[in-house]
């Protein structure tokens, strides 16, 4: 069982959360200036790292807030949780 500690609700089973993607991807400052290819890269292309990685999760069956989770994608160990940056 994967436990994720919500900063608002405490430790909860991962089934209460919805994965929201890479926490390091930032929306382009001026999306209107992007070409279609650049926009497609932003929307669809993501790294698939092995090891420690920062992710966004929503506590969808709890407080419904977004949290940032530092997780090892190989071992599934959760190293840290906190509020999104």
pLDDT at 85: 86
Rounded distance, CA 12 to CA 69, Å?
13
Give the residues across from 80 on adjacent strands: 70
pLDDT at 1: 78
pTM for the predicted model, two decimal places: 0.86
Token pair for 31: 């999306």
Domains of the chain are 3-82 (3.30.2270.10)
List per-block mean pLDDT (blocks of 10 residues) for the chain, which spans 85 residues.
94 97 92 94 92 97 98 96 95
Rounded distance, CA 44 to CA 74, Å?
22
Nearest Cα neighbor of 56 from 84, 79, 16 is 84
Token pair for 11: 């430790």
């Amino acid at each position: 069982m994967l436990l994720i500690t919500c900063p608002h609700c405490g430790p909860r089973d991962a089934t209460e959360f919805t994965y929201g993607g890479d926490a390091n991807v930032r929306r382009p400052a001026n999306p209107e200036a992007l070409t279609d290819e650049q926009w497609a890269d932003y929307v669809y292309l993501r790294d698939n790292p092995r090891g420690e990685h920062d992710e966004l999760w929503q506590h969808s069956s709890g407080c419904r807030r977004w949290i940032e989770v530092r997780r090892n994608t190989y071992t599934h160990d959760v190293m840290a949780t906190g509020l999104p940056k």
